[in-house]
């Protein structure tokens, strides 16, 4: 069903009895798309959110060699990953629109699992958002990432350059900017349980380190 230009909403005249299907999470949909892109084999996302952000995420990973099939009628996205991300056409650069979740996760994933040089582009609105500290955290893990004058998008990433080690991110920034470094390199990290549960089907091997916000990520995962 195409999106409506306008929707009229009327007050209820009394109690109602209905069953509603809640839409999927934009944040979880994009995270799952990125994880499925670097997993080997076929992944299926059931009840995802079909949104502008998820469209650009699927389009971006498609340009990096991932087969993505969207089936709105059956509320399903099927992703066939090969474990690597490689630019398929120099003329078709991955464009992520204004999707903040992809902006935070895809650079680290490309640095860890990419091949060759990959340039990511975005909307002007997204290019104004701060990502420099996140990129610096990834660089301390070995990621070879260069940015323009605005220290944001567009950015060029050398695939396979992220090797691991120790890094840090200021606690004064939003937690969402910390998480791209959380699941990229071996060692002890902090992460909320819902995100660990999301990453495990994509191949993350994590062990509880004794509380709800710490886990160990094994090398090679």
Task: Give the model's pLDDT for residue 191.
Answer: 47
Whether pLDDT at 185 is above 70 = no
Mean pLDDT of 68-88: 94
Model pLDDT for residues 115-143, shown as the tens digit of each residue: 999 999 999 999 988 888 889 999 999 99
For 16-48, what is the HEC assignment? CCCCCCCCCCHHHHHHHHHHHHHCEEEEEEECC
Task: Give the model's pLDDT for residue 180.
Answer: 46
DSSP output for 188-205: EEE--HHHHHHHGGGT--
Task: Give the model's pLDDT for residue 172.
Answer: 60
Between CA 210 and CA 147 the distance in angstroms is: 38
CB 161 within 8 A of CB 149: no
Residue 3 gets which letter from DSSP?
Answer: P
Q: What is the mean pLDDT of the chain?
A: 81
Mean pLDDT of 183-189: 47
User: CATH homologous superfamily for 26-82+90-217?
Assistant: Enolpyruvate transferase domain (3.65.10.10)
CB 79 within 8 A of CB 68: yes
Task: Give the model's pLDDT for residue 173.
Answer: 56
Task: Give the model's pLDDT for residue 147.
Answer: 92
Whether pLDDT at 73 is above 70 = yes
Task: Give the model's pLDDT for residue 201.
Answer: 53
Among 44-53, 81-90, 163-172, which stretch is predicted with the lowest mean pLDDT? 163-172
- Provide the phi-psi class of 144: left if phi over 0, else alpha when psi is between -120 and 50, else beta: beta
Q: How far is the first Cα of the chain from the last one, in angstroms, to the nearest whole number? A: 39
Model pLDDT for residues 2-29, shown as the tens digit of each residue: 555 788 989 988 898 888 888 889 989 9
Q: Which residues contact 219 (CB under 8 A, 6 or more apart)?
A: 164, 186
């Amino acid at each position: 069903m195409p999106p409506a230009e306008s929707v009229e909403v009327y007050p209820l005249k009394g109690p109602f009895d209905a069953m509603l299907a809640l839409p999927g999470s934009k944040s979880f949909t994009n995270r799952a798309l990125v994880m499925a892109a670097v997993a080997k084999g076929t992944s299926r996302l059931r009840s995802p959110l079909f949104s502008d952000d998820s469209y650009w995420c699927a389009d971006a990973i498609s340009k990096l060699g991932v087969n993505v099939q969207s089936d709105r009628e059956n509320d399903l996205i099927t992703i066939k990953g090969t474990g690597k991300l490689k630019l398929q056409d120099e003329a078709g650069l991955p464009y992520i629109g204004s999707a903040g979740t992809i902006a935070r996760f895809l650079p680290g994933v490309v640095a860890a699992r990419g091949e060759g040089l990959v340039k990511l582009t975005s909307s002007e609105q997204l290019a104004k958002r701060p990502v420099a500290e996140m990129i610096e955290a990834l660089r301390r893990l070995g990621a070879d990432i260069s940015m323009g004058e605005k220290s944001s998008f567009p950015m060029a990433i050398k695939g396979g350059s992220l090797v691991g080690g120790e890094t840090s991110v200021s606690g004064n920034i939003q937690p969402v900017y910390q998480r791209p470094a959380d699941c990229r390199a071996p060692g002890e990290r902090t992460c909320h349980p819902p995100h660990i549960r999301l990453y495990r089907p994509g191949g993350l091997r994590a062990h509880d380190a004794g509380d709800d916000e710490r886990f160990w990520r094994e090398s090679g995962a």
